[in-house]
Structure 1
Amino acid sequence: MTHLGTAPHKAEKTTKIPRWVLGLGPLVLIAALIALFSLLNAPGLTGLGDDRPPEEAVVVENIELTDGLITLTVRNEGADPVTIAQVIVSDYYAGLTQSENQMTHLESNTVTVSYPWVQGDPYDISLITSAGGRVDATIDAAVLSPDKGTSFFGLMALLGIYVGVIPIGLGLLWMPFVRRSSPAWIRGLLAFTVGLLVYLTIDATLEGIELVRDNASYGGPLVVLLGAVTAYLILEGIEGWAHQQTTNPATQPATQPATQPAGTANPAQPAGMANPARLSPQMLSLLIAVGIGLHNLGEGLAIGSAYAVGSLALGASLVIGFAIHNTTEGLAIVTPLASQRPPLTRLAILGLIAGAPAILGALLGATVYQLTLAAFLLGIGAGAVGQVAIKLLPMLKDTTGRTLTPLTAGGIITGLIFMFATGLLVIT
């Protein structure tokens, strides 16, 4: 029996397309369209610019000197293939051998030049391409490149310890001073830390851009910004995950409330300091250690590459300068722990996180040093310390809620000036 005013229900068949098909479909259509255009020789796709001369853009990435040989690593940044035909060293043609007869886009080539160079003399080198192009490089003072054996890599590891681990370990000895400081002094020290991190952010960014300013391979200066954004987002993700773990009731101990009553002071926060309500002092010190560690990775790269190309005096000056420069980084790590009594093992782990990457950087710089990689790692260091500086800002607030007071503004300025003054010791 059918009721008036109602229609019999009809079962409708609906076929759902899988979601992965919906996502992949446009890509398949684009690929098919490009293939069709190429097959039909669509106007504008082929033959464009056949009559123009080749565009040659070659950069010299590295120079090594051994007995009677000059070895250059070059890379083709342009879209057109490039062939190195001749080499001129200080107005004299020299014999050469190559690992590649022709370099395609972004391909590298090792050019070995036979030339009786003299220790300490300067040399101008010109690579002549088959199309008549010229690629210039300069050796200010010829120095025998060190033999990269076991003792050399041991030296690099030792230099990383000198630059990263020892100075930061000495900086951690400020922990008793920090623990006995008043809340106002703690805010001043945190402001000093912010100034230190801001300086490191700017310094690493400018150094990375300078490295690839004249090298457009792999995006040039863009790789610095890519590294900075990547590091910033990774640390933000780690912080968000840690915050979820600490605020999730399922992860809270049964004897502790999941949330803290409003208006109750955080016992982990020094009296008189505003609670950022997001990061614990332990997490802040860990983020600072990670950020400084990523920055020290770039410093290790600079030292390792200086020794690898034979700039031994430059490498020594970098070691001394960076060692003095990095001592206050230990202070930056322990300052958020002012109200804590962390065990020595935790402090040692934080010191290694911040300092040990200098060892890895020195080894990388001495072996696989490449300008774009170095710039990317410097960008990562800049993004990491910049992210930590932002996270420290809420801890500068006084009892009235103001962040920039005469005390904190003076602390930031002092941190900037101190890092600038010690940075003058780093001769580059």
Structure 2
Amino acid sequence: MTKGRRATDAIPQWLLAIGPLIILGAISGLLYFTSPFGNIESMSTASTLDILWMLTIIGAIAGVVPVVIGMLWFPFIRALDHRYIHAFLALSAGVLAFIAFEMVGEVFENSADAESTTFAWVLAVLGFAGTFAVMYAISKWRQRKMVTTEKSGLTIAYLVAVALGLHSIGEGMAIGVAFIQGEGTLVMLLVVGFVMHNVMEGPTVVAAVARDTEIPPLRHFAAMGLIAGGPVIVGGWIGSLSSSSLLAALFYAVAVGAILQVLIEVAELIRFDAEAIVTRLNAATFIVGVALMFVLEDVIVEGYIVP
């Protein structure tokens, strides 16, 4: 499918811009004012299979759903001029940079809480370096195998989804620990907070695809949504079975290594289309991405939603 006439062309740009926000508000309100997960306190007597199934549902709502909502901004982003698409890529880089910074703090905190701080740090460094090296090698292999000069935004979008998915494991672990301890209110608040937080991951994933000539089939969007948000489910399972500071430090370090490589890929993608990576517009949207994530996570989620 090309960038020609599409079904979304008939929808006003302002509606494409605010539509995902309306959906986000409706879902967040529904979660906050209802109890869709039932009586979590009673799950202390449930079987392991029942617990894992409930955490699968919770993880899907907290991880996959908000990412998919954010991906609904794709038609709006795609209709923009290339320099504004680059600005969205820069905003995505700001989002990723903030997440990486937060994950570094989590590595320090969980390493300090581990039984052996030294071993935790060694494991974290190996996880960071190993992930960065593997993703860097895959990137170079992909570049050598490409037979055309067209730089694929879809490939980078998948890398972004992988990096975000690795970071989402930590979110799921927080939900899993609260769930297994029977703290139903905290689980609900975490879910609402992560829904608001993770919605920004959707445009972060699809921004790279927006500058491609061809629109990929819907199966790619579905796959990227699952890759970016699905690991919240895996993290929930891990958190319910073992709240290990050592594992948490490792997963966070792996996420930082993946995000660093993705930031390099995003910069190269902008350079491929334009001579200058750092423009006033790109710098401004990068800062907006950092500031937006700070407001969503450190101000709203931690300051007002999560006690």
Fold shared, TM-score > 0.5 on shorter chain: yes
Separation in 2 of the partners of 1:211 and 1:306?
Answer: 17
Residue type at the aligned position of 1:179: R
Opposite residue 233 of structure 2, the aligned amino acid is I
Q: Does 1:184 align with 2:56?
A: no
Where does residue 328 of structure 1 map in the other structure? 200
Determine the structure 2 residue equivalent to 1:90. Answer: none
137, 145, 161: which one pairs with 1:237? Answer: 137
Match of 2:162 in 1: 290
Alpha carbons 2:43, 2:51 under 8 Å: kept: no
Q: Which amino acid aligns with 2:93?
A: V
Q: How far apart, CA to CA, are the structure 2 residues paired with 1:383 and 1:398?
A: 23
Which amino acid in structure 2 is aligned with residue 287 of structure 1?
A: L
Residue 208 of structure 1 pairs with residue 80 of structure 2: no
Q: In the TM superposition, what are the counterparts of 1:311-350 in structure 2 within 5 Å?
A: 311-338=183-210, 339=212, 340-350=214-224
Q: Equivalents in 1 of 2:93, 2:233: separation in Å?
A: 25
Q: Deviations over 1:249-296 (max 9, x none)?
A: xxxxxxxxxx55xxxxx4xxxxxxxxxxxx521211110111111111
Task: Tell which structure's C-alpha radius of gyration is larger.
Answer: 1
Give the superposition deviation at 1:397: 4.3
One-letter identity of the residue aligned with 1:401: E
Aligned with 1:223 (options 100, 104, 123): 123
Alpha-carbon separation, structure 2, partners of 1:378 and 1:214: 14
1:146 equivalenced with 2:44 (yes/no): yes
Q: Which moved more, 1:146-155 or 1:172-181?
A: 146-155
Report SS of the residue matched to 2:276. Answer: coil
* 1:352 to 2:210 alignment: no
| 1:162 aligned partner, one-letter code | I
Letter in 1 for 2:297: G
Give the CA deviation at 1:179: 1.3
Q: Is the 8 A contact 1:197 1:385 kept in 2?
A: yes
AA at the equivalent of 1:195: G
Does structure 2 retain, via aligned residues, the 8 Å contact 1:165–1:351? yes
- Tell me what 1:198 maps to: 97
**3-state SS in 1 of match to 2:146:** helix
Equivalent of residue 246 in structure 1, options 134, 146, 149:
146
Query: In 2, distance between residues paired with 1:335 and 1:298?
Result: 24
Deviation readout 1:181-237 (Å, 9 max, x if unpaired):
111210110110000010111111211221221435261334333222221112112
Q: CA deviation at 1:175?
A: 1.2
Give the structure 2 partner of residue 364 of structure 1.
Answer: 238
- Secondary structure of 1:198's aligned partner: helix
Contact 1:190–1:392 (CA<8 Å) still a contact in 2?
A: yes
CA distance in 2, matches of 1:245, 1:394: 17
Q: Does 1:408 align with 2:282?
A: yes
Query: Is this contact kept in 1: 2:153–2:269, CA < 8 A?
Result: no
Task: Using the TM superposition, give the Cα deviation of residue 342 of structure 1 relative to its aligned residue in structure 2, in angstroms.
Answer: 1.3
Unaligned runs of at least 5 residues, structure 2: 1-40
Answering whether residue 57 of structure 2 is matched by residue 169 of structure 1, we say no
Alpha-carbon distance, 1:394 to partner: 2.7
Structure 1 residue 144, shift from structure 2 partner: 9.0
Within 5 Å, which residues of 2 pair with 1:8-47? none
Deviation at 1:408, TM superposition (A): 0.7
CA distance in 1, matches of 2:173, 2:165: 13
- Contact persistence 1:305–1:365 (CA under 8 A): yes
Could you tell me which residue of structure 1 aligns to residue 249 of structure 2?
A: 375
Q: CA deviation at 1:398?
A: 9.2
Please give the per-residue CA displacement for 1:46-71, whole angstroms capped at 9, x wherever unaligned.
xxxxxxxxxxxxxxxxxxxxxxxxxx
* Larger RCO of the pair (alpha carbons < 8 Å, separation 6+): 2
Classify 1:286/1:312 alpha carbon distance in 2 versus 1 (closer, same or farther; 3 Å): same
Q: Does 1:309 align with 2:208?
A: no
2:126 and 2:162 map into 1 onto residues whose CA distance is 18
Q: Which residue of 2 aligns with 1:33?
A: none
RMSD: 2.2
Which residue identity lines up with residue 156 of structure 1 in the other structure?
L
Q: Hey, which of these two has a bigger chunk of helix by percent?
A: 2
More strand as a share of residues: 1
Given residue 228 of structure 1, which amino acid in structure 2 is its aligned partner?
F
Residues of 2 paired with 1:245 and 1:292: CA distance? 25
Moved more, 215-224 or 336-345: 215-224
Asked whether the 8 Å contact 1:298–1:381 carries over to 2, the reply is no
Equivalenced residues, count: 258
